Amino acid sequence: MSKTIFYLLLCFFCILSISWKNFTQVTKPIEDRLYYLKIAKGEQHEVISPFSKRVAHPLFAAAFSQIFKGDLRKSFQVISLLSLIVFLLAITLLYRRFQIAPPLILFTVSPYLVQIFYDYYMHDLFYGALLALFLVLFSRSILSSFIFIPLLFIVRESTLLVSLVLFFVLLREKKYRDILIILGATAIGIVLSNFFAHAGLPNRYGFSEIFYMGSKIIYNTSLNFFGIELWNSSMNSCTPKVIFNLPFLVGKINQIGYCAWHPINSLITLVQWLTIFGLLPSLLLKIKSRLSVVDSHKTIIYFCLIYGFLSFVLGPMIGPGGFRLTGYGWPCFWVAILALQKTISWPFFILNLFLTWVPPLTYYFLGWTHLAIWVVFCIAVITHLVFWLRVKNEF
């Protein structure tokens, strides 16, 4: 027990010390963060969809602001700090549940967790803490975790992926009673998120919610995978090079086109996949055969594996912040893989730690340049090759 507490505290203080400068720096919230700040201020009528659905995190901040006499910045910071503590505690409980060696929690000392900790206006760490708690409760009893699904829906609408994966995992195991519980919780979550959305504004394009999500996936897939920046007449983020007139109005859009081709974006996406969880994606390929022998806790391990992997792959398709969204794959890499592997050698851990920190260190010294991105890509490829050729039998 003392060993577990030691590694938990070590992990916490490492993340806190690395991110402290950014965490305490006063910055003006921009882009999505402005919408969450408006919700916390009670100005939801000025917030567009889908941001108007994501009320849980800013409403918690509004509640905490009563303690700090209206200082919302401090409220968001406290929530981020509490979320980090809850997240690490929940991960520790999962490790004890699955008999994962306590030192492996040090895998979470990564640029991803550092970033979502100090970016406190965003809900990513708050969502991660709730999801980790959900996994702890779900590993014991599905009924006790029922309340978390509606709550997760009003933090982020992509919780639908959580429900879908749970549905198919439970269907595979013929747990029909549990499926009904999940469907009920999902229905409540969708109703709640739509209820809060009515207090805000429609999305900026005048689309239906389903059409908006589809167009968002097309835009981000085009940008992050192919480097093509699409444009429509309701956007002012870039100057289009080619414009096509639509024969009829689609929402508020009467023209579409594209602004530019950024081939470096494809490389950035590859770099994110190769580095955000270090060598763990390669380890997944190595140990995939062990899935057939999963017995105890197989439902939760299968869920973490499938949900995490889908989040990892789909992250660049869901939003322009590919790094942040790709990191939602942590249940696969920080829980499921380690539950299957149980122990990791120190050479593997050190190589993994090196790889995860190569991008921020390279960008710090070389700047956010094409050269730096290529350097990171080459180092990442070489590191994965070293694992496959030299270290794979020693992990």
What's the rounded Cα separation, in Å, for the pair 148 and 142?
A: 10
The lowest-confidence range among 157-161, 162-166, 248-252, 299-303 is 248-252
Q: Which of 346, 338, 345, 347 is nearest to 308 (CA)?
A: 338
The lowest-confidence range among 160-164, 247-251, 323-327 is 247-251
Between 342 and 341, the more confident residue is 341
What's the rounded Cα separation, in Å, for the pair 210 and 220?
A: 16
Query: Which range in 126-135, 288-297, 319-328, 333-342 is most confidently predicted, on average pLDDT?
Result: 126-135
Residue 291's pLDDT band (cuts 50, 70, 90): low
- 265-278 pLDDT, tens digit each: 999 999 999 999 99
Residue 242's pLDDT band (cuts 50, 70, 90): confident
- 96-140 pLDDT, tens digit each: 988 888 899 999 999 999 999 999 999 999 999 999 999 999 888
pLDDT at 341 over 90: no
The whole-chain average pLDDT of the chain stands at: 89
Mean pLDDT across 63-77 = 86
- 140-193 pLDDT, tens digit each: 887 777 889 999 999 999 999 999 999 999 998 888 999 999 999 999 999 999
Burial class (CB in 10 A: 0-12, 13-18, 19+), 187: middle
The backbone torsions φ and ψ at residue 354, rounded to the nearest 5 degrees and listed phi first, read -55, -45
pLDDT at 293 over 60: no
What's the rounded Cα separation, in Å, for the pair 259 and 242?
A: 7
Q: What is the pTM of this model?
A: 0.93
pLDDT at 294 over 70: no
The pLDDT of residue 297: 67
Q: Strands, E, within the chain: which ranges?
A: 228-232, 242-250, 253-261
pLDDT at 289 over 70: no
Q: Which of 283, 274, 280, 260 is nearest to 373 (CA)?
A: 274
Bridge partners of 358? Answer: none
Structure tokens at 43: 């100005």
What's the rounded Cα separation, in Å, for the pair 72 and 116?
A: 18
